[in-house]
Chain A
Amino acid sequence: MSAVTQDTAVSTGRAMRVLIYLLLVLFALFYLLPLYVMGINSVKPLSEITGGNMMALPQVWTLDPWRSAWSTAQIGVEPTGLKPYFLNSILMVVPAVAISTIVGALNGYVLTKWRFRGDSWVFGLMLFSCFIPFQIVLIPMAVVLGKLGLAGSVPGLVLVHVVYGIGFTTLYFRNYYAAFPTELVRAAQIDGAGFFQIFWRILLPVSGPIAVVSVIWQFTNIWNDFLFGASFGGTSQPMTVALNNLVQSSTGVKEYNVHFAGAILAALPTLFVYIVAGRYFVRGLMAGSVKG
């Protein structure tokens, strides 16, 4: 993708350029607006929100809403704050991302370097599974998790996310490894290297870019998931479900500032990953799946 840095050859007049810049900046403001509103209102006392202007900077700066959202806010019936749910999400995301990425890498390796009859059917079936509306599996999944004794537990959620994540991770690694010269694998085989040795020594060292894509993709999807968390979370609900409970709770005064602080807490991990590694994500995607 050497052309990625190349701008168009089209040239535009001065007036047009002013208009373009104006529009681009306006859109940037549009995208930043909700973040700004959440940010400044999460450090205001409640009276300034209900009695003041949502767009104005706080007159009194306070971190109480953040403290409350983290450790004392009422979530459902317990005044635990979002902390335990944040931990649930971490405990769910880390193993689910790790397992699905490793499995995806191995699958991609087999599907490109150890091809067999019917392998494209196997891949096609796995690929389609990425795009099903998850409503179609909710009922049987609830039954199976119940039978396995995993309903309402973090391991149950890990299982669900691994199962419905390997389609995407396999897709990413398969497309990436497809561009890797198979002759190198054959040569190593002739030298007596085994299946795992080849993977470990030859494929894995060059897998950095696509591993980043897979990890970011899985991390964002699993962290942001609501449907599975709400359906199978039980007492181990992830962050998104807890945030929704906090915001939708109909008892007591609506503490908007606490809601905003909670929303930012829920958004921080994915925002952080995006800010740190977002560039590599776009680059890796272009190296891998777009060019296939």
Chain B
Amino acid sequence: MSASTAPDFRTRLQDWLPKLVLAPSFAVTILFVYGFIGFTVVLSFTGSKMLPSFKWVGWENYAKLWALPAWNTAIVNIAIFASLYIVICTLVGLMLAIFLDQKIRGEGVLRPIYLYPMALSFIVTGTAWKWFLDPGIGLERVMHLWGWESFSFTWIKDGDMAIYTIVIAAVWQTSGFVMAMFLAGLRGIDNEILKAAQIDGASNWQLYRRIVIPLLRPAFLSAFVILSHLAIKSYDLVVALTGGGPGRATEMPATFMYSYTFTRNQMGIGASSAVIMLMTIAAIMVPYLYAELKEKK
């Protein structure tokens, strides 16, 4: 900082300028992020229905929430969806990255093809997959027309299976992005290590299992954090693909929160579900961000 002995107005202004520039953003963050979180937390303890009210009801909303079948469906669904989505995306992403890393001709063509779904809106993805998976005009019908009469694929109409169609569409959308993260990790590995292991007679399989994959730990961690965060927030894809249906079979916390708050006029319960979503994400993000920030100092 400027260390003038007799600071006139100009140098004093220069001292304050950086903080002045940062202040609006800081104020906005405190108000619109943390203030709003506080507001929602307070609402979750009130009997708010259609409009916010401040009638304190203690833990009543949380008790009601966990007794609601729709919320239990949402929790079961997010557990199924998030675990399959994270595992499959990671496996597909890792596999594609390892294969693309084998001096592949045409890598420059393949990589953007794998990545482009990430640029699309989940609403677009949902629209495309909705009709593709629709038995009436989509895949099932195509198979019938091509002569495979017994082919049946009606998951999207089936309450027990519809959640898996969301997994398919979500994996389609993000696995290429995970591939890019792993590919960046692979390209950062020192080839000398690999050559040394090869001289020691390690097979390719051993090489990847024992050396490469352990070295990719940071990429696994970032992939896990980003994917779990995307999974918990997933709202648009469900709306576009299944609309939460058939019935309420694909209800997720994000769709539950929206419908209870804005269409069912149970704002208190909606707020409590939002608080639970926030706490879940915070449990994953805070340790990660803390470790990241600490490392960089």
- Assess A9 versus B22: contact at CB under 8 Å? Given A27-B114, A139-B39, A267-B120: no
Q: Is B18 in contact with A224, judged by CB distance below 8 angstroms? A: no
Is there a chain B Cβ closer than 8 Å to A71's Cβ? no
Which of B56-64, B81-89, B155-163, B184-192 makes up part of the contact surface?
B184-192
How many residues of A are in contact with the other chain, CB < 8 A? 99
- Secondary structure at the A interface, as helix, strand, loop or mixed, is helix
Q: Is the CB of B52 within 8 A of A139?
A: yes
**Contact at A38–B29, with CB atoms within 8 Å?**
no
Say if the beta carbon of B76 comes within 8 Å of chain A. Answer: no
Assembled-state Cα–Cα distance A238/B195 (Å)? 54
Q: When the two chains form the complex, which single residue of A38, A122, A134, A266 contacts B22, counting CB atoms closer than 8 Å?
A: A122
Interface presence of A23 (CB below 8 A): yes
* Of B25, B39, B95, the contact of A107 (CB 8 Å cutoff): B25
- Candidates B28, B29, B121, B132; contact of A267 at CB < 8 Å: B121
- Beta-carbon contact of B113 and A137 below 8 Å: no
Q: Which residue of the partner chain B has the closest CB to A194?
A: B14
Asked if B33 contacts A23 (CB within 8 A), the reply is no
Q: Is B7 an interface residue (CB 8 A)?
A: no
List residues of B (160-219) whose CB comes within 8 Å of A's CBs: 172, 176, 180, 184, 186-189, 191, 194-195, 198, 204, 207-208, 212
Give the distance to chain B from A116, nearest Cβ to Cβ, in Å.
Answer: 7
Report whether B14 and A266 are in contact in the complex, using a CB–CB cutoff of 8 Å. Answer: no
Q: A31 in the interface, Cβ–Cβ < 8 Å?
A: yes
Considering residues B92, B131, B195, B253, which has the most beta carbons from chain A within 10 angstroms of its beta carbon? B131
A60 close to chain B: CB less than 8 A = no
Compute how far the CA of A263 lies from the CA of B236 in the bound complex, rounded to whole angstroms: 14
Interface residues of B in 257-297 (CB under 8 A from A): 257-258, 261-262, 267, 270-271, 273-275, 277-278, 281-282, 285-286, 289, 292-293, 296-297
Given A226-B236, A271-B119, check contact A135 B254 (CB 8 Å): yes
Q: Is B91 an interface residue (CB 8 A)?
A: no
Stretch at the interface among A76-84, A90-98, A200-208, A241-249: A241-249
User: Binding site of B, secondary structure by majority: helix, strand, loop or mixed?
Assistant: helix
Closest to A170 in B: B25
- Enumerate chain A residues within 8 angstroms of B28, measured Cβ to Cβ: 163, 166
Q: B114, A133: Cβ atoms under 8 Å?
A: no
Q: Is residue B247 contacting chain A, with contact meaning CB distance below 8 A?
A: no
In Å, the complex CA distance between A111 and B262 comes to 39
CA distance A285 to B146 in the complex (A): 45
Check if A195 sits within 8 Å of B235, measured CB to CB: no
CB-based contact B33/A270 at 8 Å: no
Interface check B96, CB cutoff 8 A: yes
B240 surroundings in chain A (CB, below 8 A) = 244, 247
- Whether A195 touches B131, Cβ cut-off 8 Å, given contacts A54-B142, A127-B289, A286-B184, is no
User: A103 in the interface, Cβ–Cβ < 8 Å?
Assistant: yes
A182 interfacial contact with B, CB 8 Å: no
Per-position contact with A for B13-26: 1 when CB-CB < 8 Å, else 0? 01001110110111
User: Which B residues lie within 8 Å of A20 (CB)?
Assistant: 99, 102, 104
User: A28 is contacted by which of B113, B239, B257 (Cβ under 8 Å)?
Assistant: B113
Q: How far is the CB of B84 from chain A (nearest CB, A)?
A: 17
Per-residue interface assignment for chain A, residues 134 to 153, with 1 indicating a CB less than 8 Å from any chain B CB and 0 otherwise: 11111111011000000000
Q: Does B116 contact A (CB under 8 A)?
A: yes
Residues of B at under 8 Å CB distance from A?
A: 1-2, 14, 17-19, 21-22, 24-26, 28-30, 32-37, 39-40, 43, 52, 92, 95-96, 99-104, 110, 112-117, 119-125, 127-132, 137-139, 141-142, 145-146, 172, 176, 180, 184, 186-189, 191, 194-195, 198, 204, 207-208, 212, 229, 232-233, 235-236, 239-240, 243, 253-254, 257-258, 261-262, 267, 270-271, 273-275, 277-278, 281-282, 285-286, 289, 292-293, 296-297
Beyond known contacts A137-B33, A139-B274, A271-B116: 19 more, CB 8 A cutoff: A6-B187, A20-B99, A20-B102, A27-B92, A31-B117, A38-B127, A107-B22, A128-B282, A139-B52, A140-B36, A141-B32, A189-B2, A194-B14, A195-B14, A244-B123, A266-B123, A274-B115, A278-B112, A286-B184
- Of the A-B pairs whose beta carbons lie under 8 Å apart in the complex, a sample of 25, sorted by A's number, is A3-B188, A6-B187, A7-B103, A8-B189, A12-B102, A12-B204, A24-B99, A31-B172, A37-B131, A110-B19, A127-B293, A131-B281, A135-B235, A136-B275, A137-B32, A139-B267, A139-B274, A140-B40, A194-B17, A224-B122, A231-B258, A244-B239, A270-B120, A274-B119, A290-B184
Closest A-B pairs by Cβ, 8 of them: A114-B18, A224-B121, A274-B119, A34-B128, A226-B236, A9-B191, A129-B33, A135-B274
